[in-house]
Amino acid sequence: MSDKKPIAVLISEIGQHPASLAWRQIDGGQYIPQVIEVLQQREKSAIYRLRERTPGGWAIIAKHCLSETGQLERAIYEEILPFLPVSALHYYGCLENSRSDMWIFLEDAGNRRFSATDESHRILAACWLGTLHRSGQQTRAADILPECGPSYYFGLMRRGRENIIQGLANPIMTPENIGLLRSILVQMDALESNWEQLLNDCQSFPQTLVHGDFRPKNIHIQQNVTGNQLYVIDWETAGWGIPAVDLAPSRGLSISAQVDMPIYLSIAREFWKTLDMPTLQFFVRVGCLFRRLTAIYWASLGLSYQWIEKPIQSMYIYQNELAQRMTAVFGRSS
């Protein structure tokens, strides 16, 4: 899979672009960008590729983001990844614009993304993820990263429920929309009543460093003389918790892991001695449930605005997937 095409390609007045000015303070003028590709541009964040005019030359990723998320990624790149035996992109440094925003500069991961249908990719991902989870326990992650266990996802569910309740009062909601949202609230009520059981089931799961959004758009594959190498980007949701979400697919009705399970199991047994395949498969199903609660929360943020078509479309998908995941974990959807 390849990256999406850039939103825009800038070739004039490059030196005065904010990304170029910020990079100059990091690099000191050794590498001067001749082209800036706009990869992502949102209200409070943006991602650019700074590169030479000739294809195949050096390329740097410049990420402009809020300090709240940027400082977490900075901690990952400076205090955790350098001490782990996993492949990682070169980190050039960061620049704080103010107390509210900052720049992060990284090696370009390239255009080839992970595919869960490619067995070689699944094996590579199992080795990388298993090593991350095994070795993450030996880092300072528990001290410097936010909690990312079951209580975190319980909090996301509650905040999502509050957003849905507020969205019900939106005057542009149709009766059909309201019926959909109420059905999700019923699911959440059922899930909350079963949460104690879920906590008991998760007690035996070890805690470690968790990426939190391990999915194809954040996983890149590079080919070099020694073979394929896997690189992971976007650590802004990283935390300390049970690593179920890293194994679970982010989309669709599948509850199968997105990595090679036997290989991951062989590595995970080094830090989880009693782990067997049935337990690991249940572990993945729990991760699927957590991922869906996350997706519902993010979609719920758009329910109180004028344009609700996209979040409502997403909620139709998530309502069905949440029911399937609850059945997979608890044996029932309500």
Of 17, 311, 21, 316, nearest to 166 (Cα)? 311
The yes-or-no verdict on residue 5 having pLDDT over 90 is no
Q: For residues 128 and 259, state if they share a domain.
A: yes
26-59 tens-digit pLDDT: 988 778 889 999 999 888 899 999 998 776 778 9
In a domain, residue 156? The reply is: no
Is 80 exceeded by the pLDDT of residue 1? no
Nearest CA to 208 out of 293, 284, 156, 139 is that of 139
The CATH number linked to 214 is: 3.90.1200.10
Chain mean position to CA 128: 16
Hey, CA dihedral for 233, 234, 235, 238, is it positive or negative? negative
59 shares a domain with 126: no
- Give pLDDT, residue 159: 97
Least Cα distance to 294 among 232, 234, 245 occurs for: 245
Per-residue confidence (pLDDT) for residue 15, from 0 to 100 = 85
Pair 44, 85 in one domain: yes
Domain limit, last residue, from 81, 107, 133: 107
Which stretch of DSSP H or E encloses residue 106?
Answer: strand 101-107
| CB 252 within 8 Å of CB 154 | no
Residue 72 is part of a domain; what is its CATH number?
A: 3.30.200.20
CA 326 centroid distance within chain: 22
Query: Residue 124's pLDDT is what?
Result: 95
End residue of a domain, out of 77, 107, 137: 107
Say what percent of the chain tops pLDDT 70: 97
pLDDT in tens, 250-306: 777 677 789 999 999 999 999 889 999 999 999 999 999 999 999 999 999 999 999
Q: What's the alpha-carbon Rg for the chain, to the nearest Å?
A: 21
The answer to whether residues 250 and 136 belong to one domain is: yes
Give the total number of structural domains in the chain: 2
Contacts of 129 (CB under 8 A, 6+ apart): 214, 243, 246, 247, 259, 264
- Considering the domain architecture, whether residues 143 and 290 belong to the same structural domain is answered as yes
Instruction: Tell whether 128 and 270 lie within a shared domain.
Output: yes
β strands within 138-235, DSSP E: 208-210, 219-224, 227-232
Same domain, yes or no: 93 and 127: no
Mean pLDDT of 217-240: 90
What residues make up the domain containing 53? Answer: 8-107
Token digits of residue 177? 């929309």
pLDDT band at residue 2 under the 50/70/90 scheme: very low
- Same domain? For 73 and 196 the reply is no
Taking the CB of residue 236, how many other CB atoms lie within 10 A of it? 19
| Residue 145: pLDDT band with limits 50, 70, 90 | very high
Does residue 213 surpass a pLDDT of 80? yes
